[in-house]
A and B are shown apart, each in its own frame.
Chain A
Amino acid sequence: MNKDLKKPKNRISLKGDLDGRNQYKAWLYLSPALILLLIFSFYPLINTFRMAFANGYNGLAIVGGETFDFGIENFKTVVNYVDFKLCLKNTLLLCVITVPISTVLALLIAVALNSIKPLQKIYQTIFFLPYVTNSIAIGMVFNAMFTRVGLGDLIQTQGIINNIIGIFGIGPINFVNVGSSWGANMFVVCTYIVWNAIPFKILVLLGGLQNVNKQYYEAAKIDGTSKLRTFFKITIPLVSPMLAYVIITSFIGGFKEYSSIVGIFGEGMGPGGNGQMNTIVGYVYNMLPKSNLGNASAASLILFGIILIVTAINGYVSKKKVHY
């Protein structure tokens, strides 16, 4: 009886307060965020599509009220542009090289870290160290490590990396100075990206490994399964959700790569500012102040498309392969 009496009372108070008689209040709370998002996110999103499909759009209306023709001219121009092809090639290569290397290295380090007891905390701290860094600042450090100072006979230092590989009888290689090759530049950029990407991946993968039920390993031990087989048959399937997660985030990050290259080469995006390391994002930004906005929008939509495709592919592969 008592219970029955209580119930409706509760419901009334629930209705009064959580059901939201004061609808306007919720919108009031939301309004600052929504107004800013409308101006700086939703409008830009629509506007980017509008600009990308307006042939030869320069960012302003034509005097006299004429409108730009609707069409895919901007996309055609961008895709046929030599610079853009180079940017696309650089960006794709960056992803294809750095994602597997950094993922495998991070997985090995995470498994190694997970299997030791003494010194584990110290190693962990060291490996997380590059995690909170300023990518421009550390890019400049990488530049300094690979740069040789002086020209021709006047060369005084080849840079610490050349000194180190010199011990093994390699080099000296012109990595980043004026006249350095595209391949050498790519090596430096990839090295930096891998170095920069590893901490986050170790963090996620180690978290995954530590949550794996120890019973699986004990069962494998009793069965006399080899360590290698345990690694491929137990460890990898069990951390596969984390693996999928770090792979997709680093692919997306790789396609948006820009500031690490600015860190190494400056805004010229290449040795001596020749732009040979430019990326898709760099291409978009280089166009911005020059009011070639139709092309810039088309390029950014291409980037968006690539990211969506990668996400979709990953989602599809994950569904088939990832063991949850």
Chain B
Amino acid sequence: MNKTNDINVSSLSKAQRTSKIIRYTVIYIFLTIMAVIVIFPFYWMIISSFKTLEEYRANVPTLWPQHIVFENFSEAFSKANLWDLFLHTMYVGLISTVLSLIVTVLSAFAFARLNFKGKNVVFGLLMATMMVPGELYTITNYMTVSGRLPFLSEPVESLDFTNTFAVLIFPMLVSVFYIYLLRQTFLQIPNELYLAAKVDGTSDFKYLWKVMLPLSVSTIITITILKMMGAWNAYIWPRLVANDAAHQLITNGLRGASFTNEFGDVNYPAQMAAVTIVSIPLFLVFVFLRKYIMRGVSRSGIKG
């Protein structure tokens, strides 16, 4: 009796072990298939950028370039004017980051540390704007920056700021989300520090600069990265208001660049080279600064 019981148990555990092996095999196969699908577009983008046009267009596709060529990258730089685009984007990105940080820090400080009448009302109003889709603002903002004022019957040419860098920077400068993010960080800094500083006669501004900012560096970095990525990936607004060659940002330039030759053929390898170049900085950010992005984005559900 005892013996049969033993056999039963061991055979059961054997069956369990087999089912466990099967389960893990299925899980790994599933994950591998999904991983291949996820990674394939990147793979195709990179290998295509090293192929000759002939090889890219071969009837039977090659999964690895037979002759690795680098001409596509120089072609990408010249055809899409990538270097100029890069400089414009960096210029807009850096200036908007610095200005945005100043504005964000000042307001986050006011909301986190200062008491004033109407604080909760103002904060609530700002939070409410996060619900509104940006498309609702774009129409009026486009009118505003192009000098079409609602009470005038003619556009004012001297107020037409389209095709300037300013128009790429100022309308997008304040992000309620960043203010919220930094306010939350500021609130974690104990009040006692502030009171101690007050006792020592430290001014508010000095306290903000010497105590709060150093303690909030990681949030500042998060905001910087998100803002820079915003400039790098911006498409809709720049396309509307500053799409001339002198102010074009990199994503607009990439989409607008023509890789078509005189026969109407698209040079896909060169296009893929340009796409690769635009994607590389994002890869680097992802690899080295991932935790900062995750902090910001998992709280908001927005990308850059």
CB within 8 Å of B: which residues of A?
13-14, 16-20, 23, 25-27, 29-30, 32-34, 36-37, 39-45, 47-48, 50-51, 59-63, 105, 108-109, 112-113, 115-116, 119, 123, 126-138, 140-142, 144-145, 147, 149-150, 156-157, 160, 163, 195, 198-200, 203-204, 207, 227, 245-246, 249, 252-253, 256, 258-259, 262-263, 266-267, 281, 284-285, 288-289, 293, 296-297, 300-301, 303-304, 307-308, 311
Contacts and interface: CB of A to CB of B under 8 A. Distances in A.
B282 A145 contact: no
B140 A245 contact: no
A132 B191 CA distance: 37
Contacts, number: 279
B301 A163 contact: no
A144 B150 contact: no
A140 to B, nearest CB: 5
A37 B179 CA distance: 12
A198 B38 contact: yes
22 contacts: A14-B195, A17-B194, A26-B115, A32-B174, A34-B107, A40-B174, A42-B129, A44-B137, A44-B138, A115-B27, A128-B286, A134-B232, A134-B251, A137-B278, A138-B275, A142-B41, A149-B265, A245-B301, A256-B133, A288-B138, A288-B142, A300-B135
A200 B139 contact: no
B121 interface: no
A148 to B, nearest CB: 10
Given A20-B114, A44-B140, A140-B255, A62 B44 contact: no
A29 B139 contact: no
A32 B61 CA distance: 56
Given A26-B115, A134-B279, A163 B240 contact: no
Nearest to B198: A17
Contacts of B39: 126, 129
Contact of B286 (A36, A131, A258): A131
Contacts of A262: 235, 255
Nearest to B28: A116
Nearest to B284: A132
Interface residues of B, number: 102
A306 to B, nearest CB: 10
Contacts of B155: 60
B45 A19 contact: no
B236 A109 contact: no
Contacts of A25: 114, 204
Given A129-B38, A157-B59, 5 more contacts: A26-B110, A26-B115, A40-B141, A45-B129, A137-B275
**Most chain-B Cβ atoms within 10 A of its Cβ — which of A37, A128, A160?**
A37
Interface in B203-251: 204, 229, 232-233, 235-236, 239-240, 251
B107 A19 contact: no
Interface in B123-145: 126, 129, 131-133, 135-144
Given A44-B137, A105-B34, A61 B153 contact: yes
Contacts of A156: 57-59
B116 to A, nearest CB: 4
A126 B301 contact: no
B244 to A, nearest CB: 14
Contacts of A127: 34-35, 38
